[in-house]
Amino acid sequence: MTELELHDKKAFQEVLAMIKQARTKVAKAVNNGLIDLYWNIGEYISNKSKKDDWGSGTVKNLSEFLRKTEPNSKGFSSQNLWRMKQFYETYHKNEKLSLLVREIGWTNNMLIISQTKTEEEKEFYVKLTAREKYSKDELSRQLESGIYERSMLSKENISPVAREMYPDINEHIRDYYSLEFLGLRNNYSEYGFKKAILTNLKDFILEFGKDFLFIDEEYRLQVGNRDYAIDLLFYHRELNCLVALELKVGEFKPEFMGKMDFYLGVLDKNVKKAHENPSVGIILCKTKEDNIVEISLNRSTSPTIISQYETKLIDKELLRNKLNELFSSSLDER
């Protein structure tokens, strides 16, 4: 390819980027307008229900009227009109959330309303969906896997160094991950674990967070005449740093920390670019003993997180019961 062709290709890519940016802007504007419309209709029906005793019969008549007089009114069934009322009544007292719900689609809003119980849970999923830009299927999977309950039950096994460098790191890296989509059977090896992740990398990044960008497997580090390899290396867009991920199929052991400290030191010295923040390490274990983890992290000199994973989807009701027990015990201690 000639220099002129390379120059043209770069220019073509810039035009393509402009088109994609415009499409995203238009789609966002259309979604905001639609949510505004549904909010206003919901508010109107809610007020009419209180002042003029509008019930299901009146709303059904409204739906039939709209479908007869407005050809493009497929989304205005009586059921959907009641959902608009529910949507407005759910969020109208929460000024912050009433703005944020306009950042996500109508279908995702309805999923969150129908599958969550508390205001805190709704706020969690609205914020998460807006940040991660979840599709319907992606949000459904996170609701089913109980990511809210898992986050609330998290022990935040983060080294003091990581907390100091990245005060909001727990918003990006969690203590507990559900990896049921890997399809792992009993007695799998670390090699099999890694290959399952690579085969299902899209789902893995969905679980970890869309700001994770995959760089390489068995990422080679050379120190002197010795070669070392990081299981999986990622880059995190929001934290602006490299993330080394070490996979363990068994229980956490204190000696894992020394190895991770070494890897992060080499990354920061030989791989990290000048504009990037210090590298972060994640040790992903099947099980861990909290006391051992706490002592190991407190002695660590690097920003490291020790996370646990499950290979089977835990029943959401069980997670909710555990969370309720935690809240109850917290109230009893006061």
| CATH code: domain of residue 243 | 3.40.1350.10
The string of DSSP letters for 320-334 reads: HHHHHHHHHHHHHH-
- The per-residue pLDDT of the chain, averaged, comes to 88
Say whether 13 sits in a helix, a strand or coil.
Answer: helix
Q: What pLDDT is recorded for position 175? A: 86
| In the predicted structure, residue 1 carries a pLDDT above the cut 80 | no
- Whether residue 285 sits in one domain with residue 158: yes
pTM of the model: 0.75
* pLDDT average, residue stretch 307-325: 78
- Whether residue 288 sits in one domain with residue 160: yes
- Whether residue 159 sits in one domain with residue 211: yes
Say whether 224 sits in a helix, a strand or coil.
Answer: coil
Domain end, chosen from 114, 145, 176, is at 145
The string of DSSP letters for 66-127 reads: HHHH-TT-TT--HHHHHHHHHHHHHHTT-HHHHHHGGGS-HHHHHHHHHH--SHHHHHHHHH
Q: Under a CB-based contact definition with an 8 Å cutoff, are residues 174 and 194 in contact?
A: no
* H or E stretch covering 219: strand 212-223
* pLDDT average, residue stretch 184-204: 94
Q: What pLDDT is recorded for position 176? A: 87
Output the CA–CA distances (angstroms, integers) from residue 229 to 137, 214, 246, 283, 303, in the order listed: 35, 15, 10, 14, 19
The reply to whether 130 falls in a domain is yes
The reply to whether 224 falls in a domain is yes
Domain that holds residue 252: 150-317
How remote is the C-alpha of 203 from its chain's centroid?
11
* pLDDT average, residue stretch 170-181: 89
Helix ranges (DSSP H) in 232-307: 255-266, 290-298
Domain end, chosen from 120, 145, 170, is at 145
Say whether 249 sits in a helix, a strand or coil.
Answer: coil
**Least confident residue range of 3-7, 68-72, 116-120:** 3-7
Sorting pLDDT into bands at 50, 70 and 90, what band is 2? Answer: low
* pLDDT average, residue stretch 168-175: 87
The reply to whether 249 falls in a domain is yes
Q: How far apart are the C-alpha atoms of 126 and 38, rounded to whole Å?
A: 17
Residue 35 CB neighbours (<10 A): 18
* pLDDT average, residue stretch 238-245: 96
Smallest CA-to-CA distance from 303 within 168, 152, 132, 148 is with 168
| In the predicted structure, residue 235 carries a pLDDT above the cut 80 | yes
Residue 217 φ then ψ, to 5°? -100, 155
| In the predicted structure, residue 247 carries a pLDDT above the cut 90 | yes
- Whether residue 75 sits in one domain with residue 7: yes
Say whether 37 sits in a helix, a strand or coil.
Answer: helix
Sorting pLDDT into bands at 50, 70 and 90, what band is 249? Answer: very high
Q: What pLDDT is recorded for position 186? A: 83
The reply to whether 330 falls in a domain is no
- Whether residue 141 sits in one domain with residue 63: yes
| In the predicted structure, residue 166 carries a pLDDT above the cut 80 | yes
The reply to whether 209 falls in a domain is yes
Sorting pLDDT into bands at 50, 70 and 90, what band is 331? Answer: very low
The reply to whether 324 falls in a domain is no
Sorting pLDDT into bands at 50, 70 and 90, what band is 104? Answer: very high
The reply to whether 26 falls in a domain is yes
Q: Under a CB-based contact definition with an 8 Å cutoff, are residues 260 and 297 in contact?
A: no
- Whether residue 44 sits in one domain with residue 113: yes
Amino acid 313 reads L
- Whether residue 313 sits in one domain with residue 282: yes
* pLDDT average, residue stretch 200-225: 94
Residue 233 φ then ψ, to 5°? -115, 130
Number of domains composing the chain: 2
Q: Under a CB-based contact definition with an 8 Å cutoff, are residues 89 and 42 in contact?
A: yes
The maximal CA–CA distance of the chain, rounded, in angstroms, is 83
pLDDT digits (tens, 9 = 90+) for 121-156: 999 999 999 988 899 999 999 998 888 888 777 666
